[in-house]
Structure 1
Amino acid sequence: MKVWKELRGWLLSIGIAFVLSLFIGIFVIQPYKVDGHSMDPTLHDKQRIYAEKWSHALGNLPDYGDIVIIDSRVDRSRNFWDDVVEHPLISLFTGDSKQEIFYVKRVIGKPGDTIEIKNGNVYRNGEELVEPYIKEKMEVTPDQKWTVPEDHIFVMGDNRNNSKDSRMIGFIPLDHVMGIKEFK
C-alpha cells in the first residue's frame, strides 16, 4: 500500500512538471538552435539561443532589428495545436523533429512599410538602413520592392548573400513569429 502511495505521489509530481514545462515552452521561453549561416556574423551555425515567447502569445509586433524565430511555412495557417506538438518535450515522444522549419531572422519591415533593395542596399520607406550587423554587402541584383501587408513582417538574415528569407519565402504572418531572441 505504501509503495502505491509513493508511486502516485511521484506520478503526480512528474505530471505537474510536464504540464508546467509545456506552459513555459509555449508561452514564456523556449530554446532553439541556429541551423545554417544565414545570421552570420551575429549568430553562428548550431548556436543555442532562447526565444521570449510572451510577446508572441500576446500578439505583439516585434521591433525593427529584433531577431525573431519564425515558422517558414508561410503558406499555411498556424494554431495553438501547432505550438503544442512542436514543443521540444512533445517532439521527444513523437519522434517528430521539425527544427528545419524554424528560421532565425532579423525584422526589417512592419505592416505598411515599403522595403526596397537597390544596388545591394536595403531601404525602408525610402530611407537607406544603416546595418552594422550584416556580414557583407549584398551582391547587386535587380532592384526589388515590396509593401508589407497588414498582420505581416518582412525579415532578412544578416548574411544577405546566404539567407532564405522574405525575399524568397514571402511576408511572415505575425502568428508565424515564434518568439524574439533574448539570450545567447
Structure 2
Amino acid sequence: MNEPYTDIQVFGFHGCKKEVKDSLLSHQIHFEGSKNPWDWLGDGIYFWENDFQRALNWAANYHKEEGAVIGAKIKLATCFDLANSVSRQFLPIAYEDMVSLYAVEGLQLPTNINPKNHAGNTDDLVLRFLDRAVMHHLFNTLLPQAQPDVKYGTVRAPFQEGNELYPGSRFFEHDHIQICVRDLACITELFDPEN
C-alpha cells in the first residue's frame, strides 16, 4: 500500500509548553506519543505539516503565555497517507469490521463530537472518538493480518477545520495537513523555529 513517493522528508511543527520544548531540544526528555481517546489518527506524536503559524496559534490558545512550538524534520517512511486513495479505501473496511465486532459485544459505537465550549464551526467535530476507534482497529487488527511485515511509521491526513474563508467556500480558516508519528525514528531532527 505504501507508495514510493511517501518516503520523503517534511517539516512538522508541534505545539507545546515552552519548558517541554526546551527539554526536548536539550535532549533532557524525548517525545512521548499521545494516546488521547480523541486522537483521530491513533497513537503517536502529532505535528502540523509545514505550518508553524497553526502550531503557534494552537499552543497560544491551549497553553496561553507558556505556549511554544518545536520544529521537526520528519521522514514519512512507510506512511499511511490518507491524502492518498489507496490508503483511504481501507477505512470503510475497518469501520464495517468494527461495527460487526461492536454489535457482537453489544457495545455502542463512539461518535465524533465538539467539546462543550467549542467556539468554531459546529461541523468541525474536533473530538474524533469514532475516527480514533476506526484507526485503532485498522492498525491493531486488520493491517497486521493483511500486511504482517509492514510497519507504518507515520500517518498523514488533511483536516478541514474552522469557519469558511468566504461565503460558499470549501476552504476553511484552520485547514491543515496533520502528521502522526508512530515511530520515533521517523523524527530525524528537532529545531527551534522561533529562533
What TM-score comes out, normalization by structure 1 length?
0.25
Greater percentage in strand: 1
Larger radius of gyration: 1
What TM-score comes out, normalization by structure 2 length?
0.24
